[in-house]
């Protein structure tokens, strides 16, 4: 079997060369992505097109030679598959018919989950078949809390006030919704693995600044439950948790969820990263705006991250996704720098 550097590193066996991939590596900074994207009006339709989604998943691998591809889809396919009206407005972002009461929750259903998401499983199968054997395929889902902020707010929001208010004010309703989303997310990730994903990542983009009891109930416990359900079917598949901006609570998350590896956002300090790395493989954490800036500053910072985490298992990545105006030449230069580095 061909050795996948990325999977070896996540197993805690780092090699001399540091494996890498980038969050949002398939996206609008690539002209070839925009060309395929332009063929479909609706973003969700694009996500549910195995032809288009598999093509854009492979594009960055061809150009930059990452050690892993990440499935092209979106975290909001889960509310969409549960029957919540979900759409993307250009220039605005995701929009959903918000859920604020029990009637809204009662209208959700898992009945069509897998039939609705079947095109995404087909994308996974096609990408796995087309990828070089040494390149890993990462499946993903949004974490329940992050997905629920969109389900309850009806859009992206700055402080997730409606979601927090519902969680504090009606814990029974919030808990029922959370249980449904946990179920759907676990089933979705298991189906991605069944279809050929080599690893999965759980994106908790909005894990920031929650009080400890809420962080435990809404971020940590759901991740732990999803990990347990995946492990019951696929004991060996690496699971990366990414509780973005969790601050000091990243430590309880890393220790308490059973994940294989922890994603580091841009704000995680070297000292904190090294302390985490003593316990489990780490992934991160270059500021995506460093790649926009490019030049010496980028290469010094990439070298600093590579060197400071060279004592253990490290997958090089960003601390959050590429932004659309990232220059392709900077991504290429960064990729070559990472490939040339030796621990």
Q: Which residues bind ligand CP3 (CB under 6 A)?
A: 23-28, 37, 43, 70, 72, 74-76, 93-94, 140, 142, 156, 203, 205, 321
Nearer to ligand CP3, 90 or 169 (CB): 90
Closer CB to ligand CP3, residue 14 or residue 58? 58
Closer to ligand CP3 by CB, 3 or 34: give it.
34
Report in angstroms how near the CB of residue 143 gets to ligand CP3 at its nearest.
Answer: 9
Query: What SS3 string covers the chain?
Result: CCCCHHHHHHCCCCCCCCCECCCCCCCCCCHHHHHHHCCCCCHHHHHCCHHHHHHHHHHHHHHHCCCEEECCCCCCHHHHHCCCCEEEECCCEEEECCCCCHHHHHCCCCCCHHHHHHHHHHHHHHHHHHCCCCCEEEEEEECHHHHHHHHHHCECCCCCHHHHHHHHHCHHHHHHHHHHHHHHHHHHHHHHHHHCCCEEEEEECCCCCCCHHHHHHHHHHHHHHHHHHHHHHCCCCCEEEEECCCHHHHHHHHHHCCCCEEECCCCCCHHHHHHHHCCCCEEEEECHHHHHHCHHHHHHHHHHHHHHCCCCCEEEEECCCCCCCCCHHHHHHHHHHHHHCCC
Q: Which is nearer to ligand CP3, 174 or 242 (CB)?
A: 242
The residue from 74, 130, 170, 194 that is catalytic is 74
CB of 327 to ligand CP3, least distance (A): 17
Query: What is the number of the residue whose Cβ is closest to ligand CP3?
Result: 205
β-strands 86-89, 68-70: how paired?
unpaired
- Is 17 a known active-site residue? no
Cα(135)–Cα(196) distance, rounded to whole angstroms? 12
Write down the catalytic residue from 29, 48, 121, 150: 150
Round to whole Å and give the CA distance between 262 and 281: 7
Question: Is the Cβ of residue 86 or residue 257 nearer to ligand CP3 in the bound state?
Answer: 86
Which residues sit opposite 283 in a β-bridge? 263, 315
37 given a catalytic annotation: yes
- 3-class secondary-structure state, position 305: helix
Report how far residue 205's alpha carbon sits from residue 188's, in angstroms, rounded to the nearest whole number.
Answer: 18
Q: Is 24 a catalytic residue?
A: yes
Any catalytic annotation for residue 63? no
Whose Cβ is closer to ligand CP3: residue 258's or residue 321's?
A: 321
Check residue 258 and give left, alpha or beta (phi > 0: left; psi -120 to 50: alpha). left
Q: From the CB of 81, what's the least distance to ligand CP3, in Å?
A: 15
- Indicate which residue of 28, 229, 231, 343 is catalytic: 28
Query: Which is catalytic among the residues 24, 125, 231, 343?
Result: 24
Please say which residue, 2 or 41, places its beta carbon nearer to ligand CP3.
41
Q: How far is the CB of 296 from ligand CP3 (least distance, A)?
A: 27
Residue 218 C-beta: closest distance to ligand CP3, Å: 16
Q: How far is the CB of 13 from ligand CP3 (least distance, A)?
A: 25
Active-site residue list: 24, 28, 37, 74, 150
């Amino acid at each position: 079997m061909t050795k996948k550097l990325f999977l070896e590193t996540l197993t805690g066996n780092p090699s001399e060369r540091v494996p890498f991939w980038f969050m949002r590596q398939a996206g609008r900074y690539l002209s070839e992505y925009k060309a395929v994207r332009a063929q479909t009006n609706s973003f969700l339709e694009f996500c549910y097109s195995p032809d288009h989604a598999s093509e854009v998943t492979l594009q960055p691998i061809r150009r930059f030679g990452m050690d892993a591809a990440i499935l092209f889809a979106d975290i909001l396919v889960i509310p969409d598959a549960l029957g919540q009206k979900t759409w993307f407005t250009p220039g605005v972002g995701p929009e959903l018919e918000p859920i604020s009461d029990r009637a809204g929750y009662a209208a959700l259903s898992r009945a069509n989950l897998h039939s609705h998401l079947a095109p995404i499983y087909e994308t996974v199968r096609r990408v796995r078949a087309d990828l070089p054997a040494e390149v890993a395929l990462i499946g993903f889902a949004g974490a329940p809390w992050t997905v629920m902020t969109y389900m309850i707010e009806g859009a992206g929001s700055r402080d997730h006030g409606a979601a927090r208010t519902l969680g504090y004010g009606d814990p029974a309703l919030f808990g029922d919704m959370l249980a449904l989303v946990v179920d759907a997310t676990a089933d979705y990730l298991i189906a991605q693995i069944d279809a050929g994903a080599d690893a999965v990542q759980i994106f908790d983009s909005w894990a920031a600044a929650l009080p400890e009891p809420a962080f435990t109930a809404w971020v940590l416990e759901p991740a732990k439950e999803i990990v347990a359900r995946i492990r019951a079917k696929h004991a060996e598949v690496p699971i990366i948790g990414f509780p973005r901006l969790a601050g000091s609570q990243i430590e309880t998350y890393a220790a308490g969820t059973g994940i294989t590896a922890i994603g580091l956002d841009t704000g995680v300090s070297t000292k904190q990263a090294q302390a985490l790395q003593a316990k489990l493989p780490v992934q991160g954490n270059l500021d995506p705006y460093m790649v926009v800036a490019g030049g010496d500053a980028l290469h010094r910072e990439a070298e600093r991250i590579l060197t400071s985490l060279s004592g253990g298992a490290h997958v090089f990545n960003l601390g959050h996704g590429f932004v659309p105006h990232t220059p392709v030449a900077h991504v290429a230069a960064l990729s070559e720098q990472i490939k040339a580095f030796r621990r």
